[in-house]
Amino acid sequence: MHINDIKSFVPPVRTLMGPGPSDVHPRVSQAMARPTIGHLDPAFVDMMDELKVLLQYAFQTKNALTIPVSAPGSAGMECCFVNLVEPGDKVIICQNGVFGGRMKENVERCGGIPIMVVDEWGIAVDANKLEDALKANTDANIVAFVHAETSTGVQSDAKTLCEIARRHDCLTIVDTVTSLGGTPVKVDEWQIDAIYSGSQKCLSCTPGLSPVSFSERAIEKIKGRQSKVQSWFLDLNLVMGYWGSGTKRAYHHTAPINALYGLHEALVILKEEGLENAWARHETNHQGFRAGIEAIGLSFKVKESDRLPQLNAITVPEGVDEAEVRKRLLNEYHLEIGAGLGSLAGKIWRIGLMGYASRTKNVLYCLGAMTEILSDMA
């Protein structure tokens, strides 16, 4: 490629029904194009305060430390682990998909000791196994799990898992990248200690930011650390100085101003709709999609009680070239759906109905396009 051939990039207009990013609300795109202002501008600081209130609403928490990390969900995950895990800490990780494995990587890189509690990909985390692991490891001090496994479309019972962890005096780290805004996430009621999510799934925002929230118990642990947090960029002791309350903000890093405009707008939209209404919409569109999927003879990989309404794992029928279907959807319909990952590669499609993508138009479009392609290939 020669540099002189490079022009302004004008992307194709897609319908995003993969595992994320999902369709961005047009109001969010508009917000991101608004004039950039300084990261210490009083107008921006007011916006940050609003953003915290809006995120507290989305997470259903009064936690003061509720902010967006200035980087994607993977950095939000790392923010939780590097701040809470000290060398030698024993962390029980319930794994039932890709992202539990990433948690293990995080714990190891913090010098912690991961204890894996493994469930099959495609089923929910088994609470009894967690209970057993905690009984066998009385010195564990953190439990981590994924609420909504993006790699499989499975939802686990966060409330019960947190209750068990707390009973064994462990802090909890919960991944809600794919659940926040799509299905109930109740930080205070479930007493979650550290939680992270992503902007690009059920919040209808662009990718690049990771909302996080930390309980008082978590903050106590962070403030009482023996060792410094290994990441300067993600050290909450420093980040709190910038996002903290009060008019005096200590410069830490330059916030991604326009991305934060987008997240602010996405959360205003969520508030206007109402969180419960957003959850109900995701459920309704999932049921509509499900009826259509079953009508065309396809089936779900995940059993009904464990299904995430916003991320549908559909079993690829025997003899169908799953990659070809995705390719045709993209090329002929500008419609993106996702492939399976890891042990489910080639076996499932992952079809997202998240955020602004969770609407009747997308449900019917996807069903129509899949029907046409599968008939054509039969």
Residues 333-362 that bind a second copy (CB under 8 A): 336, 341
Candidate residues 12, 224, 246, 297; the one interacting with a second copy per rule CB under 8 A: 12
| Least CB distance to a second copy at residue 70 (A) | 6
| Least CB distance to a second copy at residue 24 (A) | 5
248 near a second copy (CB under 8 A): no
Stretch in the footprint of a second copy (CB under 8 A) among 44-52, 189-197, 295-303, 363-371: 44-52
Sequence-distant (6+) residues with CB within 8 A of 111 are: 85, 86, 87, 88
228 near a second copy (CB under 8 A): yes
| Least CB distance to a second copy at residue 114 (A) | 13
Amino acid at 116: M
Among the listed residues 131, 132, 185, 193, the one whose alpha carbon sits nearest the alpha carbon of residue 159: 185
Candidate residues 62, 87, 88, 109; the one interacting with a second copy per rule CB under 8 A: 109
Binding residue count for a second copy, defined by CB under 8 A: 82
322 near a second copy (CB under 8 A): no
Cα(98)–Cα(103) distance, integer angstroms: 9
Candidate residues 44, 121, 214, 289; the one interacting with a second copy per rule CB under 8 A: 44
Amino acid at 338: G
47 near a second copy (CB under 8 A): yes
Stretch in the footprint of a second copy (CB under 8 A) among 34-42, 115-123, 310-318, 358-366: 34-42
State the residue for tokens 């962890």. 165
How far the first Cα of the chain sits from its last, in Å, is 39
217 near a second copy (CB under 8 A): no
Candidate residues 184, 207, 241, 244; the one interacting with a second copy per rule CB under 8 A: 207
Q: Are 336 and 17 in contact (CB under 8 A)?
A: yes
Sequence-distant (6+) residues with CB within 8 A of 11 are: none
Q: Quick one: DSSP state of residue 112?
A: -
What kind and span of H or E run contains 86? none
